[in-house]
Chains A and B, each alone.
Chain A
Amino acid sequence: MGRKTAKRISLGSAVLVVVLTGVLQMQAQSKTPYPAMDALDRYLMPDRNAEIALARSAAPDSISRDAKVLVLGPHGYETAVEGKNGFVCAVERAWMAPFDNPEFWNPKLRGPICYNPPAVRSILPMTYKRTEMVLAGQSKAQIEEGIKAFAKKELPALEPGAFTYMMSKEAYLTDSDGHNMAHLMFYTPLMDSAVWGAGVDKSPVMLNPQFAREGIDVFMVLTGMWSDGTLAPVNN
């Protein structure tokens, strides 16, 4: 992976995109701005309606308006709005990032995401599980071990076509420049990133090892468009 691509990825999403490069690994080792979980209140959104709106902004209104919407409470995600099209929208927090991401505990991160029905059944349970362990006060190491066991024994099999929207203009995915990136995510069994031509110069596809511990690859496709239809920057 080239330096340019790595830079793009790191800018794109700390929640969902990867720290793959040596440069960023060095950053992670030498600079850990978020070494541990912050006070829980800093991860919560006090305005429930604001969280609902942010969650829905992950996908075009034509999809999210009929989606089930979750909000994060002190004890986990709760259903705020019942849906009727099978999609589920939520706002992920920093602990959904790869475990070696230096922003794993960044309380500012907000990752609005809308899951399609196959992803609701086979990907969303990981969000629930990680969040449950975080809110139970487990360390990152404990969560990592716990998620491995969960993936092995309890996680439903990955369904073909599992897919999510992350096209919110209001997302905050990283402290790095830009903070955000409009994209879609496809979930597959682990495979060589080269199979999709991911991460190479000028490719709109990137591999995100967010769920590598769980045995799932996440391929991201940059859309160049926010959920409201306005143009989003794409830095190839």
Chain B
Amino acid sequence: MVATIMAAKGEVVNGRAFTAVAALMFVVIPAFGVALPSRAQDDKTLYPRMAPIEQYMMDRNAEIALARSAAPEAISRDAEVLVLGRHGYETAVKGKNGFVCVVERSWMAPFDDPEFLNPDQRLPLCLNPPAARSHLLLTFKTTDLALAGLSKTQMFDSIKSAFDKKEMPLPEPGAMCYMMSKQQYFGRKYGNADPHLMFWFPKTDNMFWGAGLPGSPVYVHQYSPEPITEFIISVSKWSDGTAAPTD
């Protein structure tokens, strides 16, 4: 865990919906006022376009299990579970505790992440009720745009427009999620990365959590184009209670 974090210290890029400690490593400084560079939408990437949709799909039961693995069983067993279909996310299991577990795909990574659209990425997370009411809608929208075959630039513009017009909600107070699956996969560079929690706020530059400073378990990610700030707290155990790697 620590090594993964330390390995990425100093890298600063701009990005959008961040769902990985791997990605958070890129953006460790802005809480203390360092401006992020502008997005390079034409970055060359390993995955310049969407792969065939089948490559993003999963066995339904495997996807349910993977989604649930994002949080301790005590939380995820009563959560609603979504699975990705050809036309977007569908409810596979009704929940009763307000949490929603879902496996996000690589289009939720920052737009300039080289692994954006990597069909192998699997990013399980369980959103708490405030996040399920607010932040999850961003996952739905981005997924719809990706499945509709829009380019990255078109996706970016559509999401920006939606927030500009206030058609998309900002994070509710207390919005957070668990991302503690041992099976999560962030792609070639970061693999399974680390277990962590994520907390979302309407964009702010002045919370000063000490994010990204040496020794701090806190990281920050400023979304773009969404006016959202994400704080990531690295934790030491996977959702099954086993210890995460420390080197």
Asked if A36 is at the interface (CB within 8 A of a chain B CB), the reply is no
Taking a contact as CB atoms under 8 Å apart, the answer to whether A60 and B210 are in contact is: yes
Closest chain B residue, CB of each to CB of A223: B217
Interchain CA distance A221-B75 in the complex, whole Å? 16
In order of increasing CB-CB distance, the 4 nearest A-B pairs are A224-B236, A60-B215, A161-B207, A200-B74
B215: which of A189, A200, A224, A228 is its contact (CB, 8 Å)?
Answer: A228
Closest chain B residue, CB of each to CB of A188: B174
> If the complex has contacts A118-B207, A224-B236, A236-B241, are A196 and B71 also in contact, measured as CB distance less than 8 A?
no
**Residues of B contacting A191 with CB < 8 Å?**
174
Instruction: Tell me the interface secondary structure of chain A in the complex.
Output: loop
Interchain CA distance A11-B217 in the complex, whole Å? 22
**Residues of A contacting B176 with CB < 8 Å?**
196
Asked if B161 is at the interface (CB within 8 A of a chain A CB), the reply is no
Taking a contact as CB atoms under 8 Å apart, the answer to whether A117 and B236 are in contact is: no
A87: which of B206, B210, B217, B235 is its contact (CB, 8 Å)?
Answer: B210
B173: which of A59, A85, A160, A203 is its contact (CB, 8 Å)?
Answer: A160
**Residues of A contacting B214 with CB < 8 Å?**
60-62
Taking a contact as CB atoms under 8 Å apart, the answer to whether B235 and A221 are in contact is: yes
B236: which of A196, A222, A229 is its contact (CB, 8 Å)?
Answer: A222
**Residues of B contacting A38 with CB < 8 Å?**
none
Taking a contact as CB atoms under 8 Å apart, the answer to whether B241 and A197 are in contact is: no
Taking a contact as CB atoms under 8 Å apart, the answer to whether B174 and A59 are in contact is: no
Residues 207-235 of A, flagged 1 when their CB comes within 8 A of B and 0 if not, give 00000000000000111110111011010
> If the complex has contacts A86-B208, A87-B208, are A227 and B215 also in contact, measured as CB distance less than 8 A?
yes
The number of chain B residues touching the other chain, given as a range, is: 35 or more
Interchain CA distance A26-B110 in the complex, whole Å? 52
Taking a contact as CB atoms under 8 Å apart, the answer to whether B236 and A202 are in contact is: no
Residues 163-197 of B, flagged 1 when their CB comes within 8 A of A and 0 if not, give 00000000001101010100000000000000001
Asked if B209 is at the interface (CB within 8 A of a chain A CB), the reply is yes
**Residues of B contacting A205 with CB < 8 Å?**
197
B186 to chain A, nearest CB (A): 20
Closest chain A residue, CB of each to CB of B180: A204
Binding site for A on B (CB under 8 A): 1-2, 71-75, 97-99, 126, 128-130, 173-174, 176, 178, 180, 197, 199, 201, 204, 206-210, 213-218, 233-237, 239-241, 246
Asked if A145 is at the interface (CB within 8 A of a chain B CB), the reply is no
Most A CB contacts (10 A, CB to CB) among B128, B130, B209, B237 go to B209
Please count the residue pairs between chain A and chain B whose beta carbons lie under 8 angstroms apart in the complex.
122
**Residues of A contacting B178 with CB < 8 Å?**
197
Taking a contact as CB atoms under 8 Å apart, the answer to whether A195 and B129 are in contact is: yes
11 contacts between A and B (CB under 8 A): A60-B215, A87-B210, A160-B207, A195-B128, A196-B176, A200-B74, A223-B233, A225-B2, A227-B215, A228-B215, A234-B236
A55 to chain B, nearest CB (A): 15
Taking a contact as CB atoms under 8 Å apart, the answer to whether B210 and A62 are in contact is: yes
User: Assuming A197-B126, A197-B128, what are 18 further A-B pairs, CB within 8 angstroms?
Assistant: A59-B210, A60-B216, A62-B214, A87-B210, A116-B207, A116-B209, A163-B207, A197-B71, A197-B75, A202-B240, A203-B72, A203-B75, A204-B235, A221-B233, A222-B235, A224-B235, A225-B2, A236-B237
Asked if A69 is at the interface (CB within 8 A of a chain B CB), the reply is no
Interchain CA distance A118-B197 in the complex, whole Å? 21
Closest chain A residue, CB of each to CB of B215: A60
Taking a contact as CB atoms under 8 Å apart, the answer to whether A117 and B237 are in contact is: no
Taking a contact as CB atoms under 8 Å apart, the answer to whether B233 and A184 are in contact is: yes
Taking a contact as CB atoms under 8 Å apart, the answer to whether B201 and A165 are in contact is: no
Asked if A150 is at the interface (CB within 8 A of a chain B CB), the reply is no
Asked if A206 is at the interface (CB within 8 A of a chain B CB), the reply is no
**Residues of A contacting B209 with CB < 8 Å?**
116, 161, 163
Asked if A186 is at the interface (CB within 8 A of a chain B CB), the reply is yes
Taking a contact as CB atoms under 8 Å apart, the answer to whether A195 and B130 are in contact is: yes
**Residues of A contacting B201 with CB < 8 Å?**
160-161
Taking a contact as CB atoms under 8 Å apart, the answer to whether B218 and A184 are in contact is: yes
Most A CB contacts (10 A, CB to CB) among B1, B73, B217, B246 go to B217
A6 to chain B, nearest CB (A): 14
Asked if A201 is at the interface (CB within 8 A of a chain B CB), the reply is yes
